[in-house]
Amino acid sequence: MKNFFLTAIAAFCLAVPSVQAADTGHIELPDIEWSFDGPFGTYDRAALQRGFQVYKQVCSACHSMDHLAYRNLSALGYNDDEIKAIAADYSRMDGPDDEGEMFERPMRPSDNFKNPYANEKQARYANNGALPPDMSLITKARVGGANYLYGLLTGYVEPPEGFEISEGQHYNAVMAGHKIAMAAPLSDDVVAYEDGSPTTVDQYARDVSHFLMWAAEPKMEDRKRMGVMVILFLLAFAGIMYKVKKKIWADVKK
Amino acid sequence: MGSGNRQKLDNPVMEWVDSRLPVFTMMQKEYGVFPTPKNFNYFWNFGAIAMVMLITMIVTGIALAMHYTAHADYAFDSVERIMRDVNGGWLLRYLHANGASFFFIAVYIHIFRGMYYGSYKQPRELLWMLGVLIFLLMMATAFMGYVLPWGQMSFWGATVITNLFSAIPMVGDSIVTLLWGGFSVDNPTLNRFYALHYLLPFVIVGVVFLHVWALHVTGSNNPLGIEPKGPQDTLPFHPYYTMKDTFGLLAFLIVYAAFTFFMPNALGHPDNYIPADPLVTPAHIVPEWYFLPFYAILRAVTFDIGIPFTDIVLIPAKLGGVLAMFGSIAILFVFPFLDKHPVRSSRFRPWYRPALLLFVVTVLVLGVCGGKPAEGFWVPLSQLGTVYYFAFFLVLIPFFNKKEPVLELPPSINDAVLKKNEKAA
């Protein structure tokens, strides 16, 4: 019995959760049911494609996604020709060629996503001094992840009475300090969906958050699939070893 | 390590090797028949578990090093490349990042077990001190490893911790410049931290070897804290403890795998997915969770210490905090010499036991304090915790030495085991 008690303490020590989740203050984040939640959750390919469409047509005007290449879009269900066509919509400088000249060419699937700005200075100049963050890891770089992003995109509400907003700033319910340089990026019907999904801010925000979760954690499905196998294997192995240990110890303590 | 009276082996190849270098004889002596107290509970698994975690960290770490670029301009991107483009790279990195946490979990439980059952006491003082040295080396290694991804917490954590050394009078600033390789945390800092992060694990392996060697000289302590009196008190290490350790290890690995595969970022900080930016300071700079109790002690000293009723400051608050933090580890080194009570195990120490459990609670509370901004009631709570942390060693332990009653110990391990089983039957 005492052994059991001590084992329980040991197990409890293992289970002490992280205590360092950063303080989000009094900001309440929405709690959306995502298809990628939980140990068996997966991405919804249709939502990812819609989310990419929103990123491409809205966000990418200001936000880069440096860590993604067009080839990565195959995970969203696009085929090679579609990816080639998507990439070819953009161009980049390449070279030097055989004559030592730099030249502009259409992008290829192996190229990384086009950055809307040539450099940070240009990005800040175009945005009132604020730097639009890179979107590649944004869901992992914020407490709350996709819920935070959805909350931010749908959080452009009327500021409470007496809340002072300086010029070039906007009120946002979820942003730390409630002041954000980005104007509300989404409005109803700005992106035309082809699959009949509602063209509302709420739906856009869900889809693009879904897409950006994938962008930050593209190996999640592989990871969870492997995790299930690993846990099952360890459980079975631990079960066997428990029996082995019991049998070996059976002749001791008598 | 000498062969001593070596028994001839049946296998001619093994015999050829063994007669020249008695590795098989040594393994048989140290891990085969090695007499081990028969009353271990599952707390005794954590040494083996920590060893497995050390090996896991070295193996995953070497593979990661093959893909990582130690340069301020490329480090963050190279880690992302590992996550996205290197085959199995995400697995390596998540195993390594969570492995650090689980290595510390194993070692913290291992240290607690040593304190609870008096494993640090005579004749195991040196064994304990080598253990504290391993712990210190682990902290240095983990700290430098956390800098390598060159995210915001990497950069600012490195800035805060290296700046601590500037509190040392006279030489502080020179030490900081040496750590940085310049005048701020920058590329030279990253490079030297990477070199040391690769080196220190092998130093740890060396000290672990000494730690295990010392263990095999004194033999293991046990939950009763009384020495084995004969063969009836012990079992051969194999198969009894090899099998028990394997079971315990697998149970531990299940929790480790659950974190690695299903919540790999739960123990990390989101800010470290933002590339390092020397111009933007994060709202709250916090170290990894396993440093939080010590971080709380560091921040608990918020006042200058000087001569009362004068303006003379002997120890400024910053130096005081640094001394307290390093002191909290240093005091572990001398713990075996502070505690002179003749009884080892908490089971027979009516006063030490609750004091130690309160000490554990205090460390956990300090951990929570360390993760909170240093304001409001977290400050006095950290100070209260810090006072108890040191009072435990410097007031209670000396008091127990003099006053704590010495209870009657069971005559032998075997006797106690038999009695317990009679009761259970």
Candidates A19, A71, A134, partner chain B, best to mutate (most B CBs within 10 A): A19
CATH number of B32-424: 1.20.810.10
Q: Tell me, yes or no, if B238 is annotated catalytic.
A: no
In chain A, what are the domain boundaries?
27-68+112-158+167-218, 222-254
A116 touches chain B (CB under 8 A): no
Give the number of A-B residue pairs with CB atoms closer than 8 Å. Answer: 129
Candidates A1, A4, A14, partner chain B, best to mutate (most B CBs within 10 A): A14
Q: Tell me, yes or no, if B216 is annotated catalytic.
A: yes
Candidates B38, B42, B86, partner chain A, best to mutate (most A CBs within 10 A): B42
Q: Is the pLDDT of residue B425 over 80?
A: no
Using CB atoms, pick whichever of B112, B243, B367 lies closest to residue A245: B243
In chain B, what are the domain boundaries?
32-424
Q: Which of B119, B220, B346, B382 does the annotation list as catalytic?
A: B220
According to the model, what pLDDT value does residue A253 have? 64
CB contact under 8 A, B43 and A224: no
Cα torsion through A88, A90, A96, A100, rounded to 10: 100
Q: Is the pLDDT of residue B284 over 60?
A: yes
Map chain A to HEC letters: CHHHHHHHHHHHHHHCCCCCCCCCCCCCCCCCCCCCCCCCCCCCHHHHHHHHHHHHHCHHHCCCCCCCEHHHHHHHCCCHHHHHHHHHCCEEEECCCCCCCCEEEECCCCCECCCCCCCHHHHHHHCCCCCCCCCCCCCCCCCCHHHHHHHHHCCCCCCCCCCCCCCCCEECCCCHHHEECCCCCCCCCCCCCCCCCCCCHHHHHHHHHHHHHHHHCCCHHHHHHHHHHHHHHHHHHHHHHHHHHHHHHCCCCC
Q: Which of B29, B216, B238, B318 does the annotation list as catalytic?
A: B216
DSSP B315: E
User: In tens digits, what is the pLDDT along chain A, a chain of 254 residues?
Assistant: 455 555 555 554 444 443 333 444 568 899 999 999 999 999 999 999 999 999 999 999 999 999 999 999 999 999 999 999 999 999 999 999 999 999 999 999 999 999 999 999 999 999 999 999 999 999 999 999 999 999 999 999 999 988 988 888 999 999 999 999 999 999 999 999 999 999 999 999 999 999 999 999 999 999 999 999 999 999 999 999 999 999 999 988 65
CA–CA separation, B119 and B104 (whole Å): 19
A22 touches chain B (CB under 8 A): yes
Say which CATH class A27-68+112-158+167-218 falls into: mainly alpha
Compute the mean pLDDT over every residue in chain B, rounded to the nearest whole number: 95
Q: Tell me, yes or no, if B173 is annotated catalytic.
A: no
According to the model, what pLDDT value does residue A7 have? 53
**Min distance A191 CA to chain B CA atoms (Å):** 29
Which positions in chain A touch B425 (Cβ < 8 Å)?
none
Using CB atoms, pick whichever of B38, B262, B269 lies closest to residue A39: B262
What stretch of H or E contains B241? helix B237-262
Q: Tell me, yes or no, if B220 is annotated catalytic.
A: yes
Which positions in chain B touch A143 (Cβ < 8 Å)?
270
Using CB atoms, pick whichever of A10, A140, A253 lies closest to residue B109: A10
Average pLDDT over residues B314-321: 92
Which positions in chain A touch B80 (Cβ < 8 Å)?
67, 136-137
CB contact under 8 A, B84 and A72: yes
**Min distance A73 CA to chain B CA atoms (Å):** 13
A243 touches chain B (CB under 8 A): no
Average pLDDT over residues B336-344: 96
pLDDT digits (tens, 9 = 90+) for B221-230: 999 999 999 9
- Among chain A residues, the shortest Cα distance to B76 is held by A67
Q: Is the pLDDT of residue B254 over 50?
A: yes
Tokens of B191: 């490079």
